[in-house]
Structure 1
């Protein structure tokens, strides 16, 4: 909008409306989306229902007649992708599709690395992640879904794919979408919000009893084995009382399971408080081994906190030798070694590295710079196709 363009955002009806300067378009109804989700639980058909909702959305798009259509996640039980893409083929309007996960080119799942499945390259079947989101507890339609997606995506005249990481870009080039132009634009963060909160460090450490401790931080929107839940437990057993582990994003059930020496904090929507927690930690450990970007790692770096990540999927591309450590996937002993090494660094070394982390995040993950990359892409596409 700062470029003088009008902006319309279409979103599922079940998502709460928030203040926006864009013109908002609600897609379908809550009842339709609940039905779509229920049918998916039985028939594994995410993305292939909601016909009427999609047709009504298309009519609104026709009325707007946009210069560019920007797609994000199309899963979530609110769209019919064959109907949507049939319209995109006919309209000829340039399409930019940002991929935040792998669902677009698999027969079912949003991530496949935890089961080391590569069927998405040639054709999905007998999905080993059928019970994962978008969950299907009865039928497995991964073969049919894959074939339908491949047919649906064929011959879109003006479509550019934008993966949010270089890892996802490499994967996409090997997928059914690999014939389209691919332009990687990494996710961005608000570097003004996620900044070192030195004034809050003393308060946070006192609040959670962290004084004189080396603090290892973990942050997740939902804790599970896929993001390293039990790894934090085992690390706790190997560390002395001079170390403390803080896990943000815990449910009440998870908090009840935490052993002594691990502090659980419920998920917070207060980003200022989250930035303060990042700032109070000595190091972030991102124990996930299937990330299509890794926002929490970028947020920590922006707050001046170095990170330990696994050399798996997109995690390793965010951290450099100057801003943290990269351990081999699931190598907990190497993670432990990095923690112990880092804890021995002098205050001067830590302060110097904190400045490097902050500078690196500003240079590489500032969302304003990412917005400009999208604007440049839109202009390039419009110059080419109009």
Structure 2
């Protein structure tokens, strides 16, 4: 079986890393897997990207032109919004690779035009990494549920017009995708339910397969050793928070984390804990988090991430919406419990008071209570750590994920072959 993954990036960003992990997992179980990307950061020969500077420059120029329609909405919120209206060069490359099945991933940022989907002429599996597939252009919907109908009057565009850019994008998807041989895979039950309730995907097959990771790379490291490497204190409880654009992306919940940590400090923990932040450098005017805070900057490799997870006593994931929450599964794999809100994809990872704590959405006071609950009893903390690692071993391994996808691919191809034979 020859599998081709389409992804804007290979390892740059959470969705890209998830796609690349699946790609390597499929190779490990014997499948022929390749990735076709717009921008390549790895040196993996099975990842295909534009080689010439001309094509690389063309890809970056496309991103500028992609955003032109958004200029009409001067009051637009500062959130990702893509309409994917520009032509692409994907079809000839796909024909050259000649895969049996195509696995779509995060294909925004002008990588792939909406109208290209039916031209691929292959059975399609789309791994949802956010909500863009069934919206009029946004990736995180917040409190808006207009994707259940037909979008329009988009709050992220700050538009009161029913026939706005989001409606136009939604209609293009309806027209282009109406007869696709398309199966959806969601990494969480929550995102699957959102897709099922959408007007675009309500009639499609949707499977839930959690993201996998290499639990040998992400494994518990001796805490004292990990802290020594990172020059972190040995005599404090370490509270970890991190994500790409950790402090600037509102969806990652830093604005909720700050009052929760201040509440924790007031309750008597100020001198006993330190906060460690990765995914962001220290700002010029650091916010007051109630206790000493260290900023590690951006960590890009698995070893560094596994080390910082292992150094911490608890990982905080205060996100508003997560399709899955790889920071939580990575932390679990390193034996570090997680505090998160009892919402969206994180509910599939964290089991309340078994391997972490699920706070009431989106109450900073209960989030602080969860941090205290995890840290205050050393024996309990050891049990939480044990069960965190155990869940990663049981549910989030690359091998398990790869076998689930392989079985799905085989089933889809058999069905397609039967249909072709009968016709």
Distance 1:209 1:254 in 2: 22
Q: Does 1:146 align with 2:178?
A: no
Partner of 2:104: 71
Partner of 1:269: 300
Deviation at 1:111, TM superposition (A): 0.5
Partner of 1:172: 195
Q: Which moved more, 1:350-359 or 1:58-67?
A: 58-67
RMSD between aligned residues: 2.4
Deviation at 1:74, TM superposition (A): 1.9
Does structure 1 retain, via aligned residues, the 8 Å contact 2:29–2:403? no
Q: 1:9 to 1:237 in 2, by over 3 A?
A: closer
Partner of 1:6: 32
Deviation at 1:170, TM superposition (A): 0.7
Partner of 1:226: 251
Does structure 1 retain, via aligned residues, the 8 Å contact 2:66–2:85? no
Correspondence for 2:137 among 89, 104, 108: 108
Correspondence for 2:321 among 290, 296, 304: 290
Distance 1:171 1:148 in 2: 20
Q: Does 1:186 align with 2:210?
A: yes
Does structure 1 retain, via aligned residues, the 8 Å contact 2:29–2:399? no
Q: Does 1:96 align with 2:125?
A: yes
Correspondence for 2:149 among 122, 132, 152: 122
Q: 1:246 to 1:252 in 2, by over 3 A?
A: closer
Q: 1:76 to 1:306 in 2, by over 3 A?
A: same
Partner of 1:328: 360
Q: 1:236 to 1:208 in 2, by over 3 A?
A: farther
The number of residue pairs the alignment matches comes to 365
Q: 1:35 to 1:338 in 2, by over 3 A?
A: same
Does structure 2 retain, via aligned residues, the 8 Å contact 1:43–1:140? no
Distance 1:58 1:327 in 2: 46
Does structure 2 retain, via aligned residues, the 8 Å contact 1:36–1:49? no
Deviation at 1:36, TM superposition (A): 2.8
Does structure 2 retain, via aligned residues, the 8 Å contact 1:221–1:249? yes
Does structure 2 retain, via aligned residues, the 8 Å contact 1:166–1:186? no
TM-score normalized by structure 2? 0.80
Distance 1:368 1:77 in 2: 32
Does structure 1 retain, via aligned residues, the 8 Å contact 2:317–2:339? yes
Deviation at 1:361, TM superposition (A): 0.7
Q: 1:337 to 1:230 in 2, by over 3 A?
A: same
Distance 1:289 1:269 in 2: 23
Unmatched segments (≥5 aa) in structure 1: 132-138
Q: Does 1:250 align with 2:280?
A: yes
Distance 1:202 1:65 in 2: 48
Distance 2:341 2:228 in 1: 27
Does structure 1 retain, via aligned residues, the 8 Å contact 2:40–2:47? no
Distance 2:37 2:42 in 1: 11
Q: 1:311 to 1:17 in 2, by over 3 A?
A: closer
